[in-house]
Structures are given as structure tokens and as C-alpha cells.
Structure 1
Amino acid sequence: MRIAWGITGAGHYLSESYEVFRKLKQRYPDLKVSIFISGAGEEVLKMYGLSGSLDSIAPGGYMEEIFLEKDQGKSYPKVGRFLMDKYDHLIISPATSNTVAKITHGIADTLVTNAVTQAVKGSVPVHIVPVDIAGVVRSELPYNIDRDLCQNCEDCPPKNDCPKQAFTDEPQIDLLLCDGCGNCVDICTYGAIKGGEVELRIRDIDSRNVQILRGLDEITVLDDPYAILEIIH
């Protein structure tokens, strides 16, 4: 079986999506996965420390590549595979509210939304895990500095020892430089660096877009990444 996995710029459900695909690869050694990553998806994968883990799922070679949006120009030539009977499924997990809104309104101006368009045209089943379905969700943040605990040390070990030089002078963590390694968490004497859960309220418009998505041909909406395990067998 050959699967295309699309990743967009959501932190919510990102780690769970990775774990699901890792389990699938363990369960089905012959499974081939290509990964299509949006520009925002690439940044968020790095923030959450997952960029270096994807080669365990897509190790390279034909039909096991990792495609970055920045490398695919404006025409995204690799999505042509969906018209050539190359994939059995396209799974988008996680899918941001922005991605869902574009798909529901026929916009295909990113690598992942274009992949969905071509998959539908090529009669490839599309499964999407939106992060903003309804109600309230709890989501994990990338690393940040707790101002109530930070002592603004003149000599700041986390800043001095950051391999990516992701700390600014204020200090703040520049999430576009941070790769989520977590070294700073262990060396901050005051425990001021942490991730953590936040409560997010889903906007009405995002919830409505998910309902529209449910009614589109060739697309199945999944409530969470674990539902993927019921599809691939």
C-alpha cells in the first residue's frame, strides 16, 4: 500500500499524527509513505522537535520521499502523482483551519491543498483530520519562557548553550530558529522554560467549514489521528 501524508502548520495533533504513522510503519513493514509538507508545516515541525524524526517514516527512495513546499515551485509537480494511480490514500493530519477553509472553497495554492485537489480529481480517497472541529480543545504549545519564573539572569545558561541561538536579548525564544531539542528546559535553574497546554475555543466559522468539508465528494473527515489506524489495514 502507498500513502501520501500531508502535514500543515498545526501544533495540535502533530505529535499524535507522527505516532500514528510510526505505528503504521511498524505494523505494515511494506507500507510506503510519501510526506507532503506545507511551508507552515515545515516551521511547526521544527518547533516541536519532529523534523528529524520523519525519515523513520519516509526514509527516501521512490514513493518514500519527503516533499517540502519550498522545493516544489509554484506548480507543485509532485502532486501529479495523484492523477497517475500512485497512491491508495491521501491523509492530511493535522489540518489547520486555514487549510480546511481553502479546501472547502476550492483554493489550491499550497502544496497540501493542491495535493487534495489532484487527489479528488484522480479519485484517490482523501482523509482529513481538522484541528478545529467544534467546542474547546486543549493543545500543547512549543517551548516558551514563563515570565513569572524568569529571573532575567545576566548570564543565562539556556541562551548561552542554545545550539540554534534561538534566544533573543529580551530574552525570548525565536520559534523560527528553535528546533524543539529541549536542552534549555534542563539547564534553566529556575524552571522558567516550558511548553504546556492551553485551552482554545474553536471559532464558529472554522466549525462551519468542517461541516462543509464533511459533505464534499471523495473526502472523509476524521475526528482525530487515531481514526487513521482504522482506515489503513
Structure 2
Amino acid sequence: MRRVAWGITGGGQYLAESVKAMREVAARNRVCTFVSRAGEEVLRMYGLLDVLQEISRGGYLEEIFLESESGRSFPMTGRLMLGRFDMLLIAPATSNTVAKIACGISDTIVTNAAALAEKAEVPVLVLPTDLREVVTRAPYAVNREVCRGCEICPPQTACPQGAISGDDIRSIDLMLCDGCGTCLPLCSSGAIDAVRMNVRRRCIDLRNIEILRERGYVILESPEEIPEAVEGEVFKRNNMHGSE
């Protein structure tokens, strides 16, 4: 059984797939979850925040630490320096998180965890959101070209979070939406949906990923690789600085 520190950042791409993979990992290992402020917001938008309790069930080294509740010093990331974890997994890792780690910046709970893991030679696995060009699902939104601005809007009335607003063309406040989907079948015009987006790579993102690879970070290309990588030989401690 391995002790896994899991960092979640604010990327929608690969988020649901990473959660699914970590459910499999948690069935055989102990998982402690560290969530950045942006990660918390995006988890809520996709309706996945409460699912974390099925992965990190609350015992020692199986807690959920939210950056929004952890102060500015992120004391619980110090467990990485104390050798409490066998590895740190960051999935998904946004381009912003990858860039910060590449530049040595540690101002979020996840980038701080990465810095301490590297100092303590704890193996780090990173699943970047910008390694490949993909099509990903965005949170729910109102298609303004389809919305008819009904005088009585059933989705607006029924939304348990009060996230839908507007007297004419409606809109969804993603800071309130929790991705429950109550609104979907209630919109007679079918104006509410989860938008699909093409995610393209930037050259600078690829360079930052290569910087991490050169420093010994293990870069994954898909969430499907997570369970095997966590339990495989790839995480022997001597791999962390194998390129030096």
C-alpha cells in the first residue's frame, strides 16, 4: 500500500478522468488530497468536489486539505519533507501550475507541495493539461443564440444554487454553479449545455513541461496512466534525480 499525496489545480481538462483514476488508486492505497483555490472552484463547477470524500476518507494521511482553509503557510504540505508520503501526484496540472514549478514559485498549496517534494527527493508525477491538443468539456453555460428569454424560466426557478440569472437572456454564474444538471431537462429550447472546446498547446507550455522532465519529474500523458504509474516501479526514489 502506497501513501499518495494528490494535488488538484484549476483545470477542467482531465479533471473528471483524474478523479475516476484516483478512485481506483484509493481502493488499494492511502490518498491525501491537496486542493488549490482554483482547483476547489473548478471541482465545484463540475460537480466533483464532494466526490473527493470517497477517495480521501478522512483518516490520517487520507484527509482533504483545501487551500482556502489552510492559511498562507500551508503547514500540512510539510508532511512531504517528513517523509510521510511515497509520492506526490499533481493531476490535473494547469499550465500556470507547471510554469510556477518550473520557475521555482511555490505560492499555492500544490506548488508548495511540489517544492517540498523536490527538496525531500519524493517522486513527483505530473499530468499537464497542455501536453497534447484535445477536445474537452467546459462547465454548463447558456447558449445566447438559442436562449429565447422566456418570461418564466424553469431552469432559473429550479436551480438549487441560484446560479442562473437575467430577465431576458439568461446566464450561469460559475462561481455558484455546482454542476448538478438540474437545469438541463427543464430548458425547453435546449439552450443550456456543456460546451466542448479545443485546447491547443503553446510553445512555452511545452518548454515548461520539458524543464520539469529534465529535473526528474515524471510526466504522464493521460489520466489512464495514473493507476499503473502510482503502483509501478516508475516511482522508485532514485528516479527523482535520475537525470542529474
- Normalising by structure 2, we get a TM-score of 0.91
Q: 1:167 Cα deviation (Å)?
A: 1.0
Q: Does 1:38 align with 2:36?
A: yes
Q: 1:201 Cα deviation (Å)?
A: 1.5
Query: Could you say what secondary structure the match of 2:139 adopts?
Result: strand
**Deviations 1:109-156 (Å, cap 9, x if unpaired)?**
00000000001111110000000014x221111000112221110100
Match of 2:79 among 75, 78, 81: 81
**Deviations 1:30-51 (Å, cap 9, x if unpaired)?**
x111000000000000000001
Query: Does the 8 A contact of 2:147 with 2:170 survive in 1?
Result: no
1:160 alignment partner in structure 2: 157
Query: Does the 8 A contact of 1:6 with 1:93 survive in 2?
Result: yes
Match of 2:140 among 135, 139, 143: 143
1:215 alignment partner in structure 2: 214
Structure 1's unaligned 5+ residue stretches are none
**Deviations 1:204-232 (Å, cap 9, x if unpaired)?**
11121111121113x11111111112222
Query: Does the 8 A contact of 2:130 with 2:199 survive in 1?
Result: no
My pick for the range that moved more, 203-212 or 44-53, is 203-212
Q: Does 1:4 align with 2:1?
A: no
Identity of aligned residues (%): 48
* 1:156 aligned partner, one-letter code: C
* 2:32 aligned partner, one-letter code: S
State the alpha-carbon separation in 2 of the partners of residues 83 and 210 from structure 1: 24
**RMSD value, Cα:** 1.0
2:122 alignment partner in structure 1: 124
Query: Could you say what secondary structure the match of 2:162 adopts?
Result: coil
Query: Does the 8 A contact of 1:137 with 1:202 survive in 2?
Result: no
Q: 1:196 Cα deviation (Å)?
A: 3.0
Match of 1:53 among 45, 51, 54: 51
State the alpha-carbon separation in 2 of the partners of residues 101 and 195 from structure 1: 28
State the alpha-carbon separation in 2 of the partners of residues 200 and 84 from structure 1: 38
Query: Could you say what secondary structure the match of 1:127 adopts?
Result: strand
Q: 1:70 Cα deviation (Å)?
A: 1.3
Query: Does the 8 A contact of 2:32 with 2:56 survive in 1?
Result: yes
Query: Could you say what secondary structure the match of 2:51 adopts?
Result: helix
- Poorly superposed stretches of 4+, deviation over 2 Å: none
2:107 alignment partner in structure 1: 109
Q: 1:174 Cα deviation (Å)?
A: 0.3
Q: 1:25 Cα deviation (Å)?
A: 2.4
* 2:158 aligned partner, one-letter code: D
